[in-house]
Structure 1
Amino acid sequence: MSLYTSAEVFASSTLIENTDDLISSAHLLWNHADELSRCAHAYAQSAFFASQQMSSSYACPEHIYGISPAAAPLSEAARHCEQTALLLESYAAYLRDLADKLMRALHLYSHAEAQTSRWMQSLLATSSYVFPVQTGLGLAAVSAAEELSSGKASLAGFFGRHPREQQIYLDQLGNRLSNGGGVPGAAERLAKGAEELADVWQGNSLTVTPMPAVPLPAASTLSQSLTNLETLSSLKHGTISIQRYTRANGTHSWVVTIPGTDGQKDSPFGWPQNVDLMARSERARATADSQRAVLSAMQQAGIQPGEPVALVGHSQGGIIAASIASATQHPYTISHVVTAGSPIARHPIDTSKTWVTSVETDRELVSSLDGKDNPIREHWLTVRGRIRDSQPSASLQPTRVPNAKDTHELSHAMNYHTATFRDAKRLPSPELEAHETHFSELTEGRLDRNLAYECRMNKEPDSEHTHRTPENTGP
């Protein structure tokens, strides 16, 4: 089954207030593209008819292929008609793509949707708070009915429907559980129980051990950092990658790549740790075993205060990145955070010091678990992908998602996020280019250390094992 993603970029820039002329221009481009397609079809038909003729008649007029009919054989006429048809169709595709970029870059789809659905969202929020059980059952019934009628039904597809409504419902449910504290307040109340559960199941002894380097290439761009994250996610569970870059002047910068939740019994990247990481207070977040593991690996790698660090994480890995970036009780300089499918909207990241690039999709559920959209402010950019079962229309040019399943699934795997970011790169977004430049400048230099750490939990009495980084750590 072919799935497609169409990206929208949300950043701190103000929307253009008078967009009527730009909308008209986009529609004019689409109309011209349709005219060119009709001409291309006519020339293609001419080529077909010419190839069928048994006489010396000609299907294309003289001005099309530039030679005299008397001197041109029938095959030459057909060939020129075919070439003209292909050329016209390529021009039509270019105009459609240009119109698509113009509309999507202006956020018109999401802006119009927000205007028409605002009152429905307010009604849903009230209903979710006053009647949480009934509202939850109603949302489940609607999602189930839509999924069953899709022809590609699956349980994952059921959970991936109506992300906006899920987000509102979770926010109000969190308010009820925490007396107005939202999802972070509810997570704070549940954190202690989650820690006790994790201690019984996994133990509280954390081991962070150097292991043979993961062969990740230099992350010189945001796109490459996401590709590296996808590679890391497919390797042995509980593995952290740390790369050091050395500039010509001898200074260093670092990229720490963090995996998502794996659910393995001996891994600190388990399900209970997510609750700790989404809690309201820094103290509660700091107790998460997975965050302890990342900070231990950073310390062992030799990252020094003042050296710029980029944290790149998928799912729970992105929450860890946001938690460390918003924390005050560590010596590191977090210059850039890159997340894929991570609910981090409520983490108090100081974007005057740390740039944030978030990639989300609308069918993944996970990025909505904090009950809030990412903030739109300076140096915080969110790329959000709309996942569709097929190409929506001839006027849109989305990007195909590789390795998608035949039935509906949560669009939380890295293949969805990397495809969404590729699609966003096609948009003329100065904000996205600024984030690319910031990340590229951070990783400028030679990759001279490619480190990896295996993180494990056990029930031994030792609180935490530390290990010295091997001397031979080149890529």
Structure 2
Amino acid sequence: MTRRVESMVSATGFSLEELDDLTGQADRFNQTAGEMETLARQWATTALALRREQVDLAGRCPGQVPPMNGWEPSDAQGPARHAWLPFGQLIDTCNDQALTGRTLASWLTDLALSLVTVYSTYSSAESTLERILSTLTSFASALLPVQSLAMAGGLAAGSLFLSAVTDGQEGGLDPLLHGTAGLQQPFMSGLARGMLGMTGGNPDSPHPVNEISGRASQVTSWMAGMAQGDRLTLAEVVPKEDALRPILSVDDALTDLKRVGSGVGGIGYATVAVQRYRRQDGSSAWAVIIPGTDGHADSPLGWEQNLELMGENREGRMGAASARLVRRAMEEAGIGPADPVAMIGHSQGGIAAACLASDLGGYYRIEHVVTAGSPVANHPVPESTWVTSVEMEDELVSSLDGADNPDRSSWLTVRGRVDLDRDTRPGQGKEVEDSRDRAESTHGMNYQLAAWRDARSRGQPLVARHEQHLAQVVKGHLEETHFYQGRMGPRNGGT
């Protein structure tokens, strides 16, 4: 059965979508209450106008008197009467309608206030509970880092074993990651603080994960250099087919990213795609597409480079082979310092994109970054650069930064969650292409794409603004696409 993903647009840990929904409904109730008040005033004004008209007619035409008890005398029974209007009945009806309008307006206003109050109470309770659990998790992992690390390894091993004995059916790894999604970030943050304290670092660092990553990368980068060399060789490759399409939306960008990561057209691993868009005025705009970690022994996008990219030190980040690969590809393609650039990356590719946006502001005009499954919360991306982050709660990778992404309009975070109750809630979320019934990692691009598509289908204004901004950055005709493949090797006199 095809898996489905549901998404929410997040800021500082809770759903803006839910907030927009409830406050939007409250706004509609208040608007309707205002309309009822207006109608009530109009009915009251009409009643006053009728009263004035009744008094005026009585003064000018004394024969204009209402009948008594519904009986009107004939000419033979009394003086002839003028045609009359039931002023009293009309005035009472208008006053009744005015009272009904005011009552409805008051009821709608109270309902709107109750809705906002209930939501605020729920959000406060939910966020308070989440803060308590997060604080306890962070404190425990900081106080007992070795035990916490062992526990994490045991849980992971147990989950893998459970997944194996259930023959790959759901119930192995998925429920554990699904159920602990809210605790993964504080666990990583606390664990990093504990390890900093053990190694003589500052456990009160504002970015403990990045601090410990930078320390660890001093060792791992040396080991990587010994294992694969530190010489980066770049070669342009030509795919066997038209691999990519023009980027008109974030969906297009993620689809192209998925194709690059899958090696479409035989382009191979560790290949960065650079697209040139020609604008009507003759200027160029660019899109740089970076796949994720591939694990090959000679790849600049290997496992070793992740710690370097996550470090606190700019020089360390820029020295990572994956960052060097992307920068070399941008230079080879001919991206100028004034050309607008969009960068799109999956996993390590997204971290590299965030690094370049953070550290190369004086070299390139990077206007938009799209990340998929990348822990980039602590990277100092300037506010002038828009960031669109897609993350899955059901996998650990995007939580490795130990923090929520910044809360600002130029940084949108879409968080997807696999719907494990799809049998009882058919039709919820978006289908995941090429998914399997058995337990599998949700870190793949098919899950990231489903998360984005679900968020987009909900019509959130902030989602639409990010779509529009990315389309504006790469606005123009797709003129050419270059593919640059990176390989690592011993220096032996090379550069």
Structure 2 equivalent of residue 67 of structure 1: none
Question: What's the CA shift for 1:132?
Answer: 2.7
Say what the alpha-carbon RMSD is for the aligned residues.
Answer: 3.2
Structure 2 equivalent of residue 332 of structure 1: 364
Equivalent residue of 2:311, what SS? coil
Equivalent residue of 2:414, what SS? strand
CA distance in structure 2 between the aligned counterparts of 1:370 and 1:240, rounded to whole angstroms: 24
CA distance in structure 2 between the aligned counterparts of 1:189 and 1:452, rounded to whole angstroms: 33
Q: Give the 5 Å matches for 1:20-419.
A: 22=25, 113-136=126-149, 148=162, 152-154=170-172, 162-178=180-196, 179-180=202-203, 181=205, 182-213=208-239, 215-235=243-263, 236-328=268-360, 331-351=363-383, 353-391=384-422, 393-394=424-425, 397-419=428-450
CA distance in structure 1 between the aligned counterparts of 2:20 and 2:448, rounded to whole angstroms: 30
Question: What's the CA shift for 1:449?
Answer: 1.3
Structure 2 equivalent of residue 46 of structure 1: none
CA distance in structure 2 between the aligned counterparts of 1:456 and 1:207, rounded to whole angstroms: 5
For the pair shown, the structure with the greater C-alpha radius of gyration is 2
**What CA deviation, in whole Å up to 9, does each residue of 1:362-405 have, x standing for no partner?**
11210011111111112000000011234275487211212112
Asked if structure 2 preserves the Cα contact closer than 8 Å seen for 1:255 and 1:311, the reply is: yes
Compared CA separation, residues 111 and 262, structure 1 to 2 (3 A)? farther
Compared CA separation, residues 417 and 23, structure 1 to 2 (3 A)? farther
CA distance in structure 2 between the aligned counterparts of 1:369 and 1:17, rounded to whole angstroms: 29
Q: Which amino acid aligns with 1:221?
A: S
Question: What's the CA shift for 1:176?
Answer: 2.0
Q: Which amino acid aligns with 1:8?
A: M
Compared CA separation, residues 367 and 216, structure 1 to 2 (3 A)? same
Question: What's the CA shift for 1:110?
Answer: 8.2
CA distance in structure 2 between the aligned counterparts of 1:108 and 1:455, rounded to whole angstroms: 53
Q: Which amino acid aligns with 2:144?
A: F
Structure 1 equivalent of residue 456 of structure 2: 425
Asked if structure 2 preserves the Cα contact closer than 8 Å seen for 1:215 and 1:450, the reply is: no
Equivalent residue of 1:364, what SS? coil
CA distance in structure 2 between the aligned counterparts of 1:8 and 1:350, rounded to whole angstroms: 24
**What CA deviation, in whole Å up to 9, does each residue of 1:328-351 have, x standing for no partner?**
475111000000000000001112
Asked if structure 1 preserves the Cα contact closer than 8 Å seen for 2:145 and 2:195, the reply is: no
Compared CA separation, residues 21 and 164, structure 1 to 2 (3 A)? closer
CA distance in structure 2 between the aligned counterparts of 1:369 and 1:442, rounded to whole angstroms: 30
Equivalent residue of 1:382, what SS? strand
Equivalent residue of 1:271, what SS? coil
CA distance in structure 1 between the aligned counterparts of 2:255 and 2:120, rounded to whole angstroms: 26
Asked if structure 1 preserves the Cα contact closer than 8 Å seen for 2:11 and 2:405, the reply is: no
Compared CA separation, residues 188 and 202, structure 1 to 2 (3 A)? same
Identity, % of aligned pairs? Answer: 37
Q: Which amino acid aligns with 1:192?
A: Q
CA distance in structure 1 between the aligned counterparts of 2:132 and 2:7, rounded to whole angstroms: 25
Count of matched residue positions in the alignment of Structure 1 and Structure 2: 386
Question: What's the CA shift for 1:133?
Answer: 3.6
Relative to the length of structure 1, the TM-score reads: 0.74
Question: What's the CA shift for 1:168?
Answer: 1.1
Between stretches 207-216 and 330-339, larger displacement belongs to 207-216
CA distance in structure 1 between the aligned counterparts of 2:416 and 2:137, rounded to whole angstroms: 24
CA distance in structure 2 between the aligned counterparts of 1:302 and 1:264, rounded to whole angstroms: 28
Compared CA separation, residues 406 and 14, structure 1 to 2 (3 A)? closer
Question: What's the CA shift for 1:410?
Answer: 1.8
Compared CA separation, residues 144 and 113, structure 1 to 2 (3 A)? farther
CA distance in structure 2 between the aligned counterparts of 1:426 and 1:18, rounded to whole angstroms: 14
Question: What's the CA shift for 1:201?
Answer: 1.1
CA distance in structure 2 between the aligned counterparts of 1:397 and 1:243, rounded to whole angstroms: 35
Compared CA separation, residues 107 and 378, structure 1 to 2 (3 A)? farther
Compared CA separation, residues 118 and 16, structure 1 to 2 (3 A)? same
Question: What's the CA shift for 1:250?
Answer: 0.4
Compared CA separation, residues 161 and 116, structure 1 to 2 (3 A)? closer
Equivalent residue of 1:187, what SS? helix
Structure 2 equivalent of residue 468 of structure 1: none
Between stretches 205-214 and 112-121, larger displacement belongs to 112-121
**What CA deviation, in whole Å up to 9, does each residue of 1:407-453 have, x standing for no partner?**
21220000000011110111121111111111111121111111111
Structure 2 runs not aligned, ≥5 long: 30-115, 197-201
